[in-house]
Structure 1
Amino acid sequence: MLIIGIAGGTGSGKTTVAERLVHELGPNSVVLLSQDSYYKDNPHLTLQERERINYDHPESIDSALLLEHLRSLRNGRPIDMPQYDFATHSRKSETIRVAPTSVIVLEGILLFADPSLRSELDIKVFVDTDPDVRVLRRLMRDMQERGRSVESVCAQYLDTVKPMHDAFVEPSKRYADLIIPEGGRNEIAIGVLTSRVQSYLGLAATAERR
């Protein structure tokens, strides 16, 4: 099994890169996981208290559960991936059953900031995009998909997103095996990554036939 980690700042296009990779390789060979699904659940807190949590800090991620799930998949065991509700800042009661495949693609802003998670990644990709583009993409996404106001998105960006990006995300770029400028628009870089994974799948299939 090959586990690919795709990191980058908010709005960098890492999800687009991950989805392109899944599309090129086919759903039978690859499954996509998101680090966002593994935010810690805090049912003991009120909604107002949960809204004040810094979700851009590594401590907001249930890395222990994510690590457990990655190791389970690598060992051929299915997992029940949590689902996160961004409106209530809590986990949904439903989970998604994920079966192991030849390739696991994991995307998230803080993947490379955690040494334990980094050690589970066979290929580490960082999507590097201009900050102005990233903040505009985040603004549009949070308003359209998560029902946020312009004021709340801007306040969160200035209070936590940018400081945490500077403290954790940007420094983690040095751990990347491949840096993709401009995300999903970089056809050459995506082609290189896809070819590398296809070569792995071809070698794995040959080894199984022997």
Structure 2
Amino acid sequence: MTGDKHYARPFGFRAHGRGFTVMELLVVVLIFALGSLAVSATYINFTRLHRRAANAEALGEELRFVMELLVRAARNNTVEYPSLPGALSLPLEQLDLKNTAGGTTSFTKLPSTDPACAGLGADCLALSFDGGATWTPVSGKNIQIDRFDVYVTPRKNPFQSVGLSYDNDIQPRITFVIDARHLAKSPREIPSLSLQTTVSSRVYLR
């Protein structure tokens, strides 16, 4: 028809331009949020594992130092026994050792509220050279000592004679049992460790 103009529409050309719908934008935002959440969770878990590993290493070093101190003291001193026929009531919460000069070395667990544990933020293992009048902590900051038990064999003094005989002929042996944790803000970053060792005294008084 005269006056009518018809144009060929290029291939792929759309009559009306079309952008993203709200639903499509929401899907994209949701995918991005899920990806960010997954990355953040992975980073947080990795950080927690790293801190837990560092705390576990620090806890192991602290307990090795404590055990070495206990073993050295037990080997070079004698257990302070009650006079016969008295016997030790096990487990001991406080270990008293006597040296050849008559001095006393003591170990015990003290609560975090005790002045000896001030600034450590945890129950500590403490050492005394004056029979318990004053205490010095031997465990470090944030090292929570949950258990400190001492078992002594024999329970009765093998060095005190009754008449011309002795109660037993057993060389004293001491077993230490320690349960401890490294305290942290997150429960997932708190490692725990249990140690037990037995040592014989090198001092023989008979």
**TM norm structure 2:** 0.23
More strand by share: 2
**Structure number with bigger Rg:** 2
Q: What is the TM-score when the length of structure 1 is the normalising length?
A: 0.23
